[in-house]
Amino acid sequence: MLQITGVSRRFGDVTALADVSLEIRQGEFFALLGPSGCGKTTLLRILAGFESPDSGAVTLDGEDLLGRPAHRRPVNLMFQSYALFPHMTVARNVAYGLEREKLPKAEVRSRVAEVLEKVGLSAMAGRRPQQLSGGQRQRVALARAIVKRPRLLLLDEPLSALDKKVRAEMQLELKRLQHEVGITFVVVTHDQEEAMSLADRIAVFSAGRVEQVDAPVALYERPRTPFVAGFVGANNIFSGRACSVGLASDGLGVLPGSSDLPDGTPALLAVRPERLRLDGGRDGEGVLKGEVADVSFYGGVSHVSVAVPGRAEPVLAATQGATPIRAGAQVNLSWAAGDGVLVPQ
């Protein structure tokens, strides 16, 4: 439905977007994920019409989007700051976009009432934005954007300004609304948990390039570039060369992993902390041996960091619940070959 082809944008010496191509499908909840300054917001502003690319094309339903000014695009943006009009009530804010379409007054009123009902703010219609809480403002911003029934709704860091509890609530709310209104959502975020839990598919950005586009689970389990392996979730990363049984690592011997990379290719091996097995005791089988440096208990999980001789950073292992292992203990670390993911370097 939305086709982005070879879009590039430079600001002086800085490349914000370098030859980005993406295809976003009808009804999809799509996330652009990356650290700040990776170009994801620039792409969003290009889609909304506030920036134009140096080169490349964007089509929506087969029609060129870039030639149209921002106010004539069937695209709406929910701003990170919400950008609610402070001199208007909630109802006037939401009605603003419909009034611009010159719709009859009765229809504007009924659609505003309907959307406020949908986001649970009917009682607040007469208030001004500054009289609302952060979560309520966010709902108004959302209502104002979806009331126009755009083909595409863009959300810029939609949850970043909310505190943790409200954020979890809004996350569910966003998913429910997207399902209800059936609009294609493109959300920009630097928060990978947000992207993982919201999106159907995620495009990971780094330095203006798309590193990988995949469903959340695939992205987590099969990172295809070193950046994705390091950025998405916690990972223990070892460098070396690919071999038949995994990775011939630099200084730690052969580590088990699975890949179809040709032998000798420079590669990284990534193992998730929750895939690591910990065994106490001096003897016993283990891929790596080390001494527990630190144990942190988070309630549902505990993180055990293990200092392994020959490796600068500690290896991180996650266990369910509390663990009997204490700092100073000697442990063996092991994992199944299927849990070691090889990424070409």
Partner 1 sequence: MRRPRLLYVPFWATYLFLYAPIAVLVFMSFNSGDSPYSFEGFSLKWYGELAGNAEIRHGLVNTLVVALGATVLATVLGTLLAVGMARHSRSKLLDAVSVLPAVLPDLVLAIGLLVFYGMIKMTLGLHSVLLAHTVFGMAFVAAVVRTRLTHADTSLEEASRDLGAGPVTTFLRITLPQLAPGIAAGALLAFTLSVDEFVIAFFTAAPTEPTLPIVIYSMVRFGVTPEINALATLLLAVSFTVVIVAQRMTRLTESLS
Site for partner 1, rule CB under 8 A: 48-50, 69-72, 75-77, 79, 81, 83-87, 96-97, 100-101, 128, 144, 148
Q: How far apart are CA 56 and CA 328, in angstroms?
A: 57
Q: How far is the CB of 85 from partner 1 (least distance, A)?
A: 6
Q: Which is nearer to partner 1, 60 or 210 (CB)?
A: 60
Are 85 and 141 spatial neighbours (Cβ–Cβ below 8 Å)?
no
Q: How far is the CB of 190 from partner 1 (least distance, A)?
A: 18
What's the Cα-to-Cα distance from 10 to each of 42, 65, 162, rounded to whole Å? 10, 20, 32
Q: How far is the CB of 146 from partner 1 (least distance, A)?
A: 12
Strand, coil or helix: what is 187?
strand
Q: How far is the CB of 116 from partner 1 (least distance, A)?
A: 16
Q: Which among 31, 5, 27, 9 has a CA at the least distance from the CA of 18?
A: 9
Q: How far is the CB of 98 from partner 1 (least distance, A)?
A: 9
* Alpha-helix residue ranges (DSSP H) falling in 128-283: 134-146, 164-181, 192-198, 216-221, 226-231
Q: How far is the CB of 331 from partner 1 (least distance, A)?
A: 52
**Please, is 88 exposed, middle or buried when counting C-beta atoms within 10 Å of its C-beta (0-12, 13-18, 19+)?**
middle
User: What does DSSP assign to residue 123?
Assistant: G
Q: How far is the CB of 230 from partner 1 (least distance, A)?
A: 32
Q: Which letter, b or e, does each residue of 253-277 get, where b requires 16 or more Cβ atoms within 10 Å of its Cβ?
A: eebbbebebeeeeebbbbbbbebbb
Q: Which is nearer to partner 1, 95 or 228 (CB)?
A: 95
Tally of CA atoms within 13 A in the half-sphere of 332 that contains its CB = 11
Q: Which is nearer to partner 1, 72 or 164 (CB)?
A: 72
Adjacent-strand bridge partners of 344: 267
Determine the length of the chain. Answer: 345
Are 250 and 240 spatial neighbours (Cβ–Cβ below 8 Å)?
yes
Q: Which is nearer to partner 1, 78 or 248 (CB)?
A: 78
Q: Which is nearer to partner 1, 152 or 295 (CB)?
A: 152
Q: Which is nearer to partner 1, 51 or 274 (CB)?
A: 51
Q: Which is nearer to partner 1, 48 or 242 (CB)?
A: 48
Q: How far is the CB of 41 from partner 1 (least distance, A)?
A: 12
Q: Which is nearer to partner 1, 50 or 297 (CB)?
A: 50
Adjacent-strand bridge partners of 316: 305
Are 269 and 246 spatial neighbours (Cβ–Cβ below 8 Å)?
yes
Q: How far is the CB of 286 from partner 1 (least distance, A)?
A: 55
User: What does DSSP assign to residue 262?
Assistant: P
Q: Which is nearer to partner 1, 16 or 75 (CB)?
A: 75
Q: How far apart are CA 296 and CA 299, in angstroms?
A: 9
Q: How far apart are CA 59 and CA 25, in angstroms?
A: 12
